[in-house]
A and B are shown apart, each in its own frame.
Chain A
Amino acid sequence: MHELSIAMNIIEIAAEEKDKAGGGAIQSVELEVGTLSGVVVDALQFALEVSVKGTVLEHAKIDIHPVEATASCNRCGLSFPVGDLFTSCPHCQSFDTRLVSGGELRFRSFILE
């Protein structure tokens, strides 16, 4: 499952960044997951639960912030909220849109003790 690969990436980034920051215990982590990123938050949470053991995130609280999706129309330029990847522009009905937000998969921050 790709959530598992992503959980591994999260742990890796946390370990690297913790070293850069000079060590200490990671108290909590903030992640951003776009609602249309292709990653299911529940699956990611579960993947993290099964993979953090023995890592720098073992005792960290992990907050996953969903990021709502917004699309922008490539034809008329309108920005509008979307709940999926196949909604047409409410102004000109074009399906030629791009995602402005909602595709995020990002390690936002952590708190070191």
Chain B
Amino acid sequence: MCDTCGCGQPDQSFRIQKPQNPSTHTHAHEHTHSHGDVAHSHTHEHSHEHPHLHEAGQDAGHAHQFHDASHEHPHGTQIMIGQDLLAKNNLLAERNRGFFEARHITAINLVSSPGSGKTSLLEETILALRQEIAFFIIEGDQQTMLDADRIHKTGVPVIQINTGNGCHLDAVMIQKAVKELDPSDHSMLLIENVGNLVCPSLFDLGETRRVVIMSTTEGEDKPLKYPNMFRTSHLCVINKTDLLPYVDFQIDKAIDYARQVNPHLEFMEVSVKSGKGLENWYKWLRQNLS
């Protein structure tokens, strides 16, 4: 099972909730109804193209036969599908992305292990930039409203997604949350993903930028242990640099490892606690405003 969250129930329901609003909506079995509207596009893809099969080297020789899409087998009929298992999430993520682009909304997906400082960074950022940027926040957590309550205190609109047994946010959850949050044009949507470096890496939310945060209290080898996450991120924020005198963490080594996984990754060293380096983060956010 998933080492990170240890969850084991095939229950995929999630819950979206605003801090000030006690009424809740539980979206049970989200996968069943939410995907209904995208099923048609797969129908079309299926009947006349199997581009993925051509890409898989080992299948190249068979690919042409698949246009016919069925084979008689001694015990039944083989139906070729060739569909990406994440196709539905990817499709919905692209719809989210299109919506964000059309509305000039910059969506940032913040990922890290639990405790790296995502919520703290959001709180500081909101306090520092709220006069110049309209922020909207989505908080992802398995169970609690704690982080949304922290953000709510700053006064900016926030919505909590509780993923229950799920250990990552996905594009459907973002679509629903965005509908309720209703971010304004030219705003910045900051999404705090569930604290976990494995699962969120596979699920595109439609974000403009993905930011991975690691802190000096973690191992420098995180990028090698969780390469998918570092490979799919645009920026790596190294937080808690105020603790460098007290911990063994070697920043250069961490950056070297991360560059091996993703030579295009940008880096930023900050201490949310002391404020050191946060100017660079603010500059990066401003540059990425759409």
Decide yes or no whether B61 CB sits under 8 A from chain A: no
Residue among B10, B53, B228 having the largest count of chain A Cβ atoms under 10 Å: B10
Contact of B2 among A3, A21, A86, A108 (CB under 8 A): A3
Cβ of B35 and Cβ of A12 under 8 Å apart?
yes
The residues of B that contact A50 with a CB separation of less than 8 Å are 8-10
Cβ of B81 and Cβ of A2 under 8 Å apart?
no
How many residue pairs bridge A and B at CB < 8 Å? 149
Roughly how many angstroms separate A113 CA and B78 CA in the complex, as a whole number? 9
Chain A residues touching B, majority SS: mixed
- Shortest distance from the beta carbon of B28 to any chain A beta carbon, whole Å: 13
The residues of A that contact B35 with a CB separation of less than 8 Å are 12
- Shortest distance from the beta carbon of B219 to any chain A beta carbon, whole Å: 15
Closest to B77 in A: A112
* Interface hits, A9-46 → B, CB 8 Å: 9-10, 12-13, 16-17, 20-21, 24, 27, 31-32, 36-39, 43, 46
Decide yes or no whether A76 CB sits under 8 A from chain B: no
Contact of A1 among B81, B167, B201, B259 (CB under 8 A): B167
Closest to B260 in A: A86
Cβ of B42 and Cβ of A16 under 8 Å apart?
yes
Cβ of B10 and Cβ of A107 under 8 Å apart?
no
Closest to A28 in B: B76
Closest to A96 in B: B263
- Shortest distance from the beta carbon of B143 to any chain A beta carbon, whole Å: 16
6 contacts between A and B (CB under 8 A): A3-B1, A8-B10, A8-B12, A16-B42, A38-B202, A109-B79
Given contacts A109-B80, A110-B79, 11 further A-B pairs with CB under 8 A are A1-B167, A2-B168, A5-B12, A5-B170, A8-B31, A17-B83, A20-B43, A37-B202, A38-B202, A85-B231, A106-B82
